[in-house]
Amino acid sequence: MAAVVVPVQRPIRPTEEPPDPAAAQVYREVQQSEAFQEIRRSYRSFVFPATAVFLGWYLLYVIAQAVAPDLMRTQVAGPLSVAWTLGLLQFVSTFVITWLYSRNARIKRDRAALGLRWDTQDQLR
């Protein structure tokens, strides 16, 4: 039985145009603008504290599970223990943080980012 050799085909890549130096300069100016820096500051002022709070809350749950297993076994209501309650609250906190992030982005950053985008597009025409 003879082996069949199948040639390897390379994926077809569209021809790429060299980057336009004028467009690159526009994007550098936008990145250095005060409006862009304010959008980044607003983003960071929400995301870093929210991440720290969530990680702290998660680690508290894990550490409590390891350090105080008797406390975590304590029944709260019926078969629901402290561990189950805190575990379910992890899901609730995830949804709350997601909602807060969405609200924060809509109120503080989306309009400014859209304005900056339109200004950039006008400069590139």
User: CA-CA distance, 64 to 73, in Å (whole number)?
Assistant: 11
- The arithmetic mean of pLDDT across residues 74-98, rounded, is 93
- The arithmetic mean of pLDDT across residues 78-90, rounded, is 93
Q: Please indicate, yes or no, if residue 114 is contained in any of the structural domains.
A: yes
Q: Please indicate, yes or no, if residue 18 is contained in any of the structural domains.
A: no
Range name among 8-17, 18-27, 75-84, 113-122 with the lowest pLDDT average = 8-17
Q: Render 24-48 in DSSP notation, one character per residue.
A: HHHHHHHHHSHHHHHHHHHHHHHHH
Structural domain for 46, as ranges: 34-124
For 2-110, strand residue ranges (E) read 75-77, 80-81
Q: Please indicate, yes or no, if residue 12 is contained in any of the structural domains.
A: no
Q: Please indicate, yes or no, if residue 10 is contained in any of the structural domains.
A: no
Res. 117: pLDDT tops 80: yes
pLDDT of residue 29: 87
Please give the structure tokens belonging to residue 50.
């929210």
pTM of the predicted protein model: 0.69
Domains in the chain: how many in total?
1
Q: Please indicate, yes or no, if residue 13 is contained in any of the structural domains.
A: no
